[in-house]
Amino acid sequence: MSAISAADIAPTPYAWQVRATGLKVRVGRNRMAVDGIDLSLSTGVHGLLGPNGAGKTTLIRTLATVLRPTGGGLELLGGSVGGPGGHRAVRRRIGYLPQEFGYYKRFTVREFVEYMAWLKEVPKAEIPAAVQRAVERVGLADRADDRMKALSGGMVRRVGIAQAIVNDPAILLLDEPTVGLDPAQRLRFRELLQELGADTCVLVSTHLVEDVAAACTDVMVLAGGRLVFQGAPDRLAALGGPGHPGDSPLERGYSALLLDPARQGGTW
């Protein structure tokens, strides 16, 4: 696998944007948080489910190039991220929202998203329009000149989404993006995900199964650092029955998968 260079990440179509082979990531001295995952993701909205400690955040951080793999292979946008200079080049085409992100409280919304656009090396002449578009897409155009410290928790989360999409990423990684959003905002966020998934590889880690059902074309389930299911939401729903916990078919299928190890390991 060749290392990524700036030329490798021109906005050309790929058969897949993310490919992992036997991917392993160790956290601390002894725990393998991601343990031998094989994964290929292309354009669309992919949901990532799993119980606490399953390895979801570790996987997201590894795909965002924050963590280095311990073993196996990882390719993003057609090239390996393991070579010299690969991280900086690929990060220009990644959008990433962690569970908790830092920000300067005295910055306005516009100033913060502008700063993130600059960090992502968006061309200077394009930054104002890119920032305005990102802020509008998350419904904060009327608060763009408010300081971050004056915003509610849900609004701060929407600013986090805006900074993640300001560079029109080819890969968008969102870790628990709907935390703090009210029901109406979550509905609008699902619509935004569907818009973005038309030409972006979007990976959404969440505990809210209904968000996956509404917005994702593909769902993956992690358990114990391993990928135990990948497929369409209706395939996961089909695993459940009336006796399994959950308020929807997808929740019951997800519960059935986690409760019955014999059902795990499916790729549909």
Model pLDDT for residues 168-211, shown as the tens digit of each residue: 999 999 999 988 888 898 899 999 999 999 999 999 998 888 88
Residues 106 and 182 in one domain: no
Q: Which two tokens stand for residue 188?
A: 């609008």
Is residue 264 within 8 Å of 228, Cβ to Cβ?
Answer: yes
Q: Specify if 1 maps to a domain.
A: no
Q: Is 111 helix (H, G, I), strand (E, B) or coil?
A: helix
Q: Which two tokens stand for residue 213?
A: 């059902």
Residues 30 and 73 in one domain: yes
- Tell me the C-alpha distance between 150 and 23, whole Å: 41
Considering its fold, how many domains does the chain have in total?
2
Residues 221 and 249 in one domain: yes
Residues 247 and 133 in one domain: no
Share of the chain above pLDDT 90, in %: 69
Long-range contacts of 113-120 (CB under 8 A, 24+ apart): 113/159, 113/162, 113/163, 113/166, 116/163, 116/166, 117/163, 117/166, 117/167, 120/91, 120/92, 120/166, 120/167
Residues 34 and 144 in one domain: no
Residues 210 and 185 in one domain: yes
Residues 236 and 121 in one domain: no
Is residue 203 within 8 Å of 172, Cβ to Cβ?
Answer: yes
Residues 212 and 247 in one domain: yes
User: Tell me, what CATH number does 46's domain have?
Assistant: 3.40.50.300
Residue ending a domain, among 140, 168, 196, is 168
How many residues comprise the chain? 268
pTM above 0.85, yes or no: yes
Q: Please report, as a single letter, which amino acid is at residue 142.
A: D
pLDDT score of 9: 38
Q: Specify if 25 maps to a domain.
A: yes
**What is the residue range of 115's domain?**
100-168
Scanning 197-248, the segments in alpha helix (DSSP H) are 209-215, 233-237
Among the ranges given (1-15, 46-60, 162-176, 185-199), the one the predictor scored with the smallest mean pLDDT: 1-15
Residues 146 and 190 in one domain: no
Strand partners, 204: 47, 174
Q: What is the pLDDT of residues 75-126, one digit of tens each?
A: 999 877 765 555 778 888 999 999 888 888 999 999 999 999 999 999 999 9
Q: Specify if 18 maps to a domain.
A: yes
Residues 68, 74, 26, 268, CA torsion sign: positive
Residues 86 and 206 in one domain: yes
Residues 128 and 183 in one domain: no
pLDDT confidence bin for 16, thresholds 50/70/90: confident
Among the ranges given (20-24, 204-208, 225-229), the one the predictor scored with the smallest mean pLDDT: 204-208
Q: Mean pLDDT across the chain, nearest whole number?
A: 88
Q: Specify if 143 maps to a domain.
A: yes
Residue ending a domain, among 168, 187, 211, is 168
Q: Specify if 115 maps to a domain.
A: yes
Residues 54 and 73 in one domain: yes
Say whether pLDDT at 7 is over 50.
no
Residue 211: which of 58, 98, 49, 44 has the closest Cα? 49
Backbone angles phi, psi at 67, to 5 degrees: -110, 150
Q: Specify if 86 maps to a domain.
A: yes
Residue ending a domain, among 168, 186, 215, is 168
pLDDT score of 262: 65
